[in-house]
Amino acid sequence: MAQFTVPSHIVMGQGALNEAKLYIKSYGKKALIVTGKHVAKSEMMKMLQDMLKEIAVEYIVFDGITGEPNDQMIDAGILAYTENQCDFLIGIGGGSPLDSAKAIGAMITNPGKIADYNGKEIPNKIPPVVAIPTTAGTGSEATKFTIITDSKKDIKMLLKGDYLIPELAILDYSFGMTAPEEVTAATGLDALTHAVEAYTSKKATVMTDTLAVSAVKRIVRFLPIAYQDRTNTEARQEMAIAALEAGICINNASVTLVHGMSRPIGALFHVPHGMSNAMLLSKCMTFAASEVSERLAVLARATEVATKEDSDKIAAAKFVDQLEKICAICKIPTLKEYGIDQKTYESSIDKMATDAIASGSPANTRKEVTKDDCIRLYKELYQ
């Protein structure tokens, strides 16, 4: 049995924002635009505001998302939404404002505090969310997940449920052309992690397999180009498509060990999400290789790093090498290079391993993962 869930509408291409205005008009009278300080001052924000004026939709800009979102930012967003009597949300920017728009929406129609929903399904329908990504990576525009940090407990909470899927995703290729190279790297490698994890997940289906292979091919080819030449429009577009494909993949096949172990590193040491995934990706795939070599071999052949003549085992190893090469091209640092103190890190390993297993994601890995496995992998990761 397989299900497949996507946003109600996806509008993509040059000028997509303008193309989508009739959908937006149908969602309500007053939008809360959720974003960060930088995007709030950008040309694309001006285009969005001009378009809303043109279709006579009122709006309030909430630019309080200053990095990966936590419960306090969400509470401030909820207040802005209710005080201004908004009736739908527009998230514009990277994964953080998009995740935030979804979380604010969730807390408008669901009682209690956001922490009450950690790891649980959101039970009540939320106001319509329009997602306008300006970086190619998280795929939040297509997913039923949102990750919010619990600022008291230092954990990244995972909220999920079909109601969190945006009504409308707009991928306007004129956006996202200005991302700094470290953002291109981290978000692009997040998308690669989504595609590889979905393809090797226990929950993979024929539909997600097709999109995962497609996304991996695009990313392996175009991420190094997008990273090295930020003016390359073709590479940016291909990365935007790949990020959407990979987002749809995890929406339906979930993530596995990499994301499970990555979130605690992000919560405790503030490593950007895509970067901590990238640090873990080849190590976790090597761990799972005995159960997923056939699948990694398919990805190796699809990306032409292995041939039909290679055995699955050899092809899988070549694909893991390829993952490492892309991380090296994108200058992904080690934990030590990132500036994390070894003693502090090592004293946090037990908590991180507990939180990783508790998130449920490692259980989607085709090889059984125990807390001891996570402890060993966290230790090796620092070396």
Alpha-carbon distance of 258 to 279, in angstroms, equals 9
Other Cβ atoms within 10 Å of 108 Cβ, number: 18
Which of helix, strand or coil describes residue 161?
Answer: coil
Element (H, E) at 360: none
* Min CB(250)–Zn ion separation in Å: 7
| Closest CB to Zn ion among residues 138, 293 | 138
Amino acid, single-letter form, for residue 287: F
Q: Identify which range of 189-197, 232-240, 294-302, 347-355 contacts Zn ion by CB under 5 A.
A: 189-197
Site string for Zn ion, 336-375 (x = CB under 5 A): ----------------------------------------
Which helix or strand (DSSP H or E) is residue 181 part of? Answer: helix 181-199
**DSSP readout, 199-259?**
HTBTT--HHHHHHHHHHHHHHHHHHHHHHH-TT-HHHHHHHHHHHHHHHHHHHHH---HHH
Q: Which is nearer to Zn ion, 141 or 190 (CB)?
A: 190
Query: What phi and psi, each to the nearest 5 degrees, are found at residue 312?
Result: -60, -40
Binding window for Zn ion (CB under 5 A); candidates: 16-24, 190-198, 210-218, 241-249: 190-198
**Binding residue (CB under 5 A) for Zn ion from 190, 197, 245, 355:** 190
* Residues that contact Zn ion, how many (by CB under 5 A): 1
Both tokens assigned to 242: 């790949």
CB of 112 to Zn ion, least distance (A): 26
In whole angstroms, how close is the CB of 117 to Zn ion at the nearest point?
19
Q: Measure the CA–CA gap between 223 and 16, rounded to whole angstroms.
A: 23
Angle between helices 181-199 and 233-253 (to 10 degrees): 40
Structure tokens at 151: 């600022």
Nearest Cα to 75, choosing from 39, 107, 35? 107
Our CB check for Zn ion shows the closer of 68 and 238 to be 68
CB of 277 to Zn ion, least distance (A): 6
To the nearest whole angstrom, how small is the minimum distance from the Cβ of residue 283 to Zn ion? 16
CB nearer Zn ion, residue 172 or residue 190? 190
Check residue 172 for interaction with Zn ion (CB under 5 A). no
Q: Which is nearer to Zn ion, 220 or 255 (CB)?
A: 255
Give the tokens for residue 349: 């390993």
CB of 141 or CB of 312, closer to Zn ion: 141
Identify which of residues 52 and 223 has a Cβ nearer to Zn ion in the complex: 223
**Residue showing the smallest CB distance to Zn ion in the complex:** 190
Interacting residue ranges for Zn ion, rule: CB under 5 A: 190
